[in-house]
Amino acid sequence: MASLKVVLRKKENKDGTFPLAIRITKDGKSSYIYLGQNLHPNEWDDKKQQVKKSHPNATRLNNLILKRKAEANDTLIDMQTKGKDASAGAVKKQIKPKDGVSFFAQSKVFLDNMRKAGKYNRVVTEECRIKRFRLFLDDADIAFGDISVPLLNRYAAWLKGEYNLAERSIVNNLMIIRTIYNQAIAAQIVDTKTYPFGKGKISIKLPDSAKAGITTDELHRLETVELSGLEDHARNVWLFSFYIAGMRVSDVLRLKWADIADGRISYVMGKNNKAGSVKIPDKALALLDKYKEEKPKLGLVFPELKILDTLQDTYEVQRKISYAIKQLNKYIERAAAKAKIEKKITCHISRHTFAQIAADKVPVQILQKLYRHSNISTTMGYQSNFTTKHTDDALDAVIGK
């Protein structure tokens, strides 16, 4: 008859820990099912087959051990009852969980898929959030079934206390857990019965965030202030983004001379892959003249991506864009200070500035086309951050100017 025992394997990890596993023994032969946990020898009670209470995560780990051992024992009894081959290897094959059954195993799959898709920004952002969740769990892995509503509520409180995160940031940290949980459900790795999100459980709703651009007067000061070097270049990129209806700076940096013809720019927006064309105002044409070269590398207008040998590696392109935007933000902030603009200004504020100035001047249907939003409700929601005329008039009508 086969026997089961939870043991620490003898192969030491680099950090001095040893892997925890269920050992299945039959006819003197053994197979091992690894539990995805590693312990130091002084944290393990071999006689009782449990983690010592001195370990900060002892209760949770011991519950995991009991659960996995019970599952293995049930499978073994079922196989013997049905007269199936119950060798150590056969039992292991029957009860070994699917690859990626734990949360952090699935999070690795999620991040790997993002890397293959070339989504550098998402990888960097979500990897940080996943690391926070692991830190909250004292560096232990966790089964999906153990991610409960009380645990997530404790995690939200921990994020607030440990990092002083705003509500929106806390929601973003919960969203990645939900995303990976949904991925596991889609892969039929976990059951929906233990799903901790939804009505009556953890409800995720992004809070509104304030958006604001600079005023027309501040814009004029930025356009006319004397600048040189990298500050002047950062201003050129910022203004070009503004002049092209708030074109995202990531798209500005990918812009090629081949995208420009007959006084128009035709390009595919990086965020949603929507193609479109927009007229180039005279102010933007004047900026383009500053960057003309006889043989531009990779056909690019602006210099940030010319350091690359190819634009085919999407992940590397996004990585370089991310670094470039950080540098541009640093210099546009310096340029704004010289223009006597006291507001915090970044590359993305150019998009907000266009929306703010356009708010009471351009019909929302036209803005939808300029922004390339699939839904007009998206445009209306975005513009609501900047439209204040009607509310201002209503207040003046009651209170007076």
Concatenated DSSP letters for 164-217? ---HHHHHHHHHHHHHHHHHHHHTTSS-GGG--BSTTSB---PPP-------HH
pLDDT tens digits for 355-386?
Answer: 888 876 767 676 676 666 667 776 666 556 65
Q: Identify which has the larger pLDDT, 178 or 72.
A: 178
Q: State which of 56, 77, 95 marks the end of a domain.
A: 95
Q: Do 227 and 350 have their domain in common?
A: yes
Q: Do 164 and 233 have their domain in common?
A: no
Q: Do 235 and 180 have their domain in common?
A: no
**Nearest by Cα to 302 from 362, 369, 368, 230:** 230
Q: SS3 of 1, please?
A: coil
Q: What's the chain's average pLDDT? A: 85
Please state, in angstroms and rounded to a whole number, the distance separating the CA atoms of residues 287 and 341. Answer: 22
Virtual torsion, Cα 364, 369, 373, 377, nearest 10 deg:
20
Which pLDDT value is given to residue 379?
A: 63
Is residue 354 a part of any domain in this protein? Answer: yes
Q: Identify which has the larger pLDDT, 326 or 100.
A: 326
**Nearest by Cα to 285 from 260, 303, 254:** 260
Q: State which of 161, 194, 227 marks the end of a domain.
A: 194
Confidence grade of residue 397 (pLDDT, cut at 50, 70, 90): low
Q: Identify which has the larger pLDDT, 276 or 40.
A: 40
- Which range marks the domain in which residue 321 is found? 216-358
Is residue 38 a part of any domain in this protein? Answer: yes
Is the pLDDT reported for residue 227 higher than 90?
Answer: yes
Q: Do 173 and 226 have their domain in common?
A: no
Please state, in angstroms and rounded to a whole number, the distance separating the CA atoms of residues 167 and 160. Answer: 8
Q: Do 232 and 350 have their domain in common?
A: yes
Q: State which of 95, 130, 164 marks the end of a domain.
A: 95
DSSP at 221: H
Is residue 279 a part of any domain in this protein? Answer: yes
Is residue 205 a part of any domain in this protein? Answer: no
Q: Do 163 and 113 have their domain in common?
A: yes
Which pLDDT value is given to residue 385?
A: 61
Please state, in angstroms and rounded to a whole number, the distance separating the CA atoms of residues 194 and 146. Answer: 8
Is the pLDDT reported for residue 99 higher than 50?
Answer: no
Lowest mean pLDDT among 12-21, 148-157, 223-232: 12-21
Q: Considering the entire predicted model, what is its pTM?
A: 0.63
Q: Do 226 and 262 have their domain in common?
A: yes
